[in-house]
Structure 1
Amino acid sequence: MEFARQGEAAARATVPVVTPIAQLAYVFSEYSVGTGNAMATKIHAQARAHEAMGGRTYVVVSDRREHDYAEGTLVRYASSRPATREWFTDLERRLDAACGLTLGRRPLVARFHREALDAVPADAKALVVYNYAGAITDRLTRDFDGKIVLHLGNDVFRSWRPAEVRRVIARTHVTVAVSDYLAGTVVERLGSRPDNLHVLRNGVDTAGFRPGRRASREGMPPTILFVGNVVPHKGAHNLVAAARVLAHTTRNFRVRIVGSSGLRPSEGLSDYERELRRAAAPLGDLVEFTPFVDRHALPAVYAGADVFCMPVDWQEPAGQVVTEAMASGLPVVSARSGGIPEYLGHEGVYVDPRDANRLAEALHDLVTDPGERARRGRALRRRAESMTWDRNVQELMRLIGD
């Protein structure tokens, strides 16, 4: 452990700290513990690590929102966009996609980000733009003197022609993707790999997310945990279906589904959430639903569980909740989806979550075998300890500094 600390200190000393840098959050999103927005969580974690290294991080945010993270220097901008149309609309996306096909540029998303980009401080040496590749225009490259980083957390180029993708990546100093899987989608679309396309995997707060004292819950039924956006592609329904099968062989378990349909507290339930509760009703108290909890409360949620389930129905590029479960010392049962295996490695338990019987089998093996739970949980905790935000930021600084 002492050797590891010395190694990290040496790496920190040799990696150039570009200071200051600017991080562009989603337009009109909160920079707050009160949102489940993965980008806000990531920006906060990177700002904290960067500032611990002696750097300075500007976080460009809307003055229409509340922002309560302590780390990062907030740069607020005012928007002329009507409050009734704060978000980038589906119509605007469709129009921009048509412009991309015909004109090779996306003017509406560029206009949508203009006021935020105009607020970037003049002394910023680098600017990180998350996902909204259309905001990286020729105008931005002319007006911003520093290095531009496009940070890809999703397959944002689905509706883009290869020529469009090449042009926007060429405008960046570096484009980073959160997994080899996601970088591969870009390479597949282009037919070749741009020299400035790199993989920068997410970090995890291994100090905040730690294994709980499970011995204190001896005799209690093992808890299978789901955390995330409660929407169809996240697959909570797959877990409920498996729980119904599992209940035929043992009732010594509990399922806890934590989250809401949105990325913040919401009033009422979506149609999908209501359907989930109807499907779980025959299981009685074996399944518990907990609405959205903020970032401060999340470590205790993981610490109170025994198994984590990631039953997604889509190609998840990375999965922030997977790394949080790993850091919390939980064994993880997951779809072999997208970039998840790159984070979980060999110690993950992989099944097709749409097969309720196979998912129930995998969960049964863990809820009935505390030794196997502990072994996999320890291995995943060790793996998470190599995924710190310090290392993430050191690699980002190295790429920016190249």
Structure 2
Amino acid sequence: MKIAIITPGGLPVPPLKGGAVENLIYTIIKENELGRDTLEIDVYSIEDEALKANNFSVKNTNYYFIKKEKIRNEFIFKVKTKIRNKLNYSYFLTKSIKLIKNKMYDFIIVENRPNYVMKIKNKLDSKIILHMHNEHLTSFKNYQKAVDACYKIIVVSNYIKETIIKKYCVDEEKIRILHNGIDISRFNNRTISNKNILRNEFDLSGNDFVVLFSGRLVKEKGICELINAILKCSNIKNLKLLIVGSSWFSNSNSDNFTDTLKNKTREIEDKVIFTGYIDYNQIHNIYKIADVAVLPSIWNDPFPLTVLECMGVGLPVISTKSGGIPEMIDNESGILLSIDKDIEENIAKSIEYLFNNTDIMQSMGCKAAERVQLNFSKEVFYKEFIRILN
């Protein structure tokens, strides 16, 4: 079977600059190299300087890198970022279609860009599968035509499936669920010795109780609520909060929201560490530092990879009953909280509960790792991907 994967076009694949969608595409590529139900894959990605220093040659995948359009017109350059991005994505898609035009594919898989579908449909004759990582089909006016033009729609969680069926005119038979998956082998080697060695890099001691937050530093991820909860945890003297991430993937430059977070933590700055952006190839080592992960999304997070990764390390995860997260965490592997006026108080109580009940904390961590191994590994993810295509 021969397929084309059209990436979103904002970040490169291979995912040297991060991005959940880009990492999932790369998971398919790597698993496909192992010879099980092998696909012929052509990947259409934006070009990036970081790619030039690496050799990503693989047997079963061809990469087609598209140079970023240089916007020379001074007026266009000054317009809002949203308009510039729209122009850049349009250029990326046009170039991708031009490259695809003389090739034959069983399927063209469009990653998370419903607005790409009609342009592809009008130019190419292959069956189109739209792989949605969120529920925002109405981000462009012709969404219903795009839905109708798709052969199938793959979604990352049952939450997305139910939302799309409820909001839009989509036949349930057209939708397939493909839960995200991770490389368990990267995350599950966690011992006391390597945990303490890694802690030294951040001036953390073996006795510190380390709470981990990882993700983009944006309001929707609940980082403000977590910091306010930490301020309430006065009974844990050796508490440390490790905040991993930046406002936009590989960019660690400060912005107004990040500055606000740092100002909020001034009175406990000896307890809070901002790491900035950590390369995805190193992120698993940072997770192994922690005792518990708190990822309190206050929006309907579709199916966040960070939750799976923290569970894979063997961390109990405190999160929220939002989006696809309840499909990931059960009562044995973590704590799910309601998003309401008491969320900060309940985060604080949950942290203190795990701190005071080490046996329960360790049991939850073990159950979390087992749950990911059984349901959300890269092997399970790839096998289900192949099943859907077949």
TM-score > 0.5 by shorter chain:
yes
| Residue identity matched to 2:128 | I
The answer on 1:56 being equivalent to 2:56 is: no
Q: Distance in 1 between matches of 2:124 and 2:80?
A: 23
The answer on 1:275 being equivalent to 2:260 is: yes
Segments of 5+ residues of structure 1 without an aligned counterpart are 1-17, 97-106
Q: Distance in 2 between matches of 1:69 and 1:59?
A: 15
Deviates more, 1:308-317 or 1:150-159: 150-159
The answer on 1:339 being equivalent to 2:328 is: no
| Alignment partner, residue 5 of structure 1 | none
Residue by residue over 1:114-171, the C-alpha shift from the partner in whole angstroms, topping out at 9 and shown as x without a partner, is 212322371433221111111111x52354343321010112224467xx44432222
Q: Distance in 2 between matches of 1:63 and 1:250?
A: 48
Q: Distance in 2 between matches of 1:190 and 1:108?
A: 28
The answer on 1:291 being equivalent to 2:283 is: no
Q: 2:237 aligns with which of 251, 259, 280?
A: 251
| Alignment partner, residue 178 of structure 1 | 156
Over the aligned positions, Cα root-mean-square deviation in angstroms equals 2.8
Residue by residue over 1:310-364, the C-alpha shift from the partner in whole angstroms, topping out at 9 and shown as x without a partner, is 1112110011100101111110000111001101123320124662211100011
TM-score (norm 1): 0.83
Q: Distance in 2 between matches of 1:297 and 1:219?
A: 21
Segments of 5+ residues of structure 2 without an aligned counterpart are 197-204
The answer on 1:390 being equivalent to 2:368 is: no
Q: Secondary structure of the residue that 1:313 maps to in structure 2?
A: coil
Q: Secondary structure of the residue that 1:136 maps to in structure 2?
A: helix
Is the Cα contact below 8 Å between 1:229 and 1:262 reproduced in 2? yes
Q: Matched residue pairs, number?
A: 366
Is the Cα contact below 8 Å between 1:128 and 1:151 reproduced in 2? yes
Is the Cα contact below 8 Å between 1:201 and 1:392 reproduced in 2? yes
The answer on 1:377 being equivalent to 2:356 is: no
The answer on 1:44 being equivalent to 2:26 is: yes
| Residue identity matched to 1:127 | I
Residue by residue over 1:57-78, the C-alpha shift from the partner in whole angstroms, topping out at 9 and shown as x without a partner, is 2221223553358364311234
1:298-377 residue pairs with structure 2 within 5 A?
A: 298-346=283-331, 347-352=333-338, 355-377=343-365
Deviates more, 1:26-35 or 1:215-224: 215-224
Residue by residue over 1:229-287, the C-alpha shift from the partner in whole angstroms, topping out at 9 and shown as x without a partner, is 011111111111000001x22222211000111110333x1111111111111113211
| Alignment partner, residue 100 of structure 1 | none
Q: Distance in 2 between matches of 1:175 and 1:192?
A: 9
Q: Secondary structure of the residue that 2:212 maps to in structure 1?
A: strand
Q: Secondary structure of the residue that 1:344 maps to in structure 2?
A: coil
Is the Cα contact below 8 Å between 2:211 and 2:294 reproduced in 1? yes
Is the Cα contact below 8 Å between 2:211 and 2:291 reproduced in 1? yes
Q: Distance in 1 between matches of 2:268 and 2:145?
A: 53
Is the Cα contact below 8 Å between 1:28 and 1:65 reproduced in 2? no
Identity rate, percent:
21
Q: Distance in 1 between matches of 2:89 and 2:5?
A: 18
| Alignment partner, residue 14 of structure 1 | none
Is the Cα contact below 8 Å between 1:204 and 1:324 reproduced in 2? yes
Instruction: Label 1:286 to 1:148 Cα distance change in 2 as closer, same or farther (>3 A).
Output: same
Is the Cα contact below 8 Å between 1:150 and 1:175 reproduced in 2? yes
Is the Cα contact below 8 Å between 2:68 and 2:92 reproduced in 1? no
Q: Distance in 2 between matches of 1:123 and 1:314?
A: 40
- The alpha-carbon deviation at position 393 of structure 1 amounts to 2.1
The answer on 1:264 being equivalent to 2:245 is: no
Q: Distance in 2 between matches of 1:76 and 1:111?
A: 13
Q: Distance in 1 between matches of 2:5 and 2:112?
A: 12
Instruction: Label 1:192 to 1:115 Cα distance change in 2 as closer, same or farther (>3 A).
Output: closer
Is the Cα contact below 8 Å between 1:44 and 1:69 reproduced in 2? no
1:91-130 residue pairs with structure 2 within 5 A?
A: 91=83, 113-120=93-100, 122-130=103-111
| Residue identity matched to 2:378 | W
Q: Secondary structure of the residue that 1:21 maps to in structure 2?
A: strand
- The alpha-carbon deviation at position 44 of structure 1 amounts to 0.6
Q: 2:115 aligns with which of 110, 134, 137?
A: 134
| Residue identity matched to 1:169 | V
Instruction: Label 1:88 to 1:299 Cα distance change in 2 as closer, same or farther (>3 A).
Output: farther
Q: Which structure is higher in RCO with an 8 Å CA cutoff and minimum separation 6?
A: 1
| Alignment partner, residue 3 of structure 1 | none
| Residue identity matched to 1:321 | T
- The alpha-carbon deviation at position 378 of structure 1 amounts to 0.7
Is the Cα contact below 8 Å between 1:351 and 1:362 reproduced in 2? no
Q: Secondary structure of the residue that 2:42 maps to in structure 1?
A: strand
| Alignment partner, residue 200 of structure 2 | none
| Residue identity matched to 2:93 | H
Residue by residue over 1:74-95, the C-alpha shift from the partner in whole angstroms, topping out at 9 and shown as x without a partner, is 11234556278799953489xx
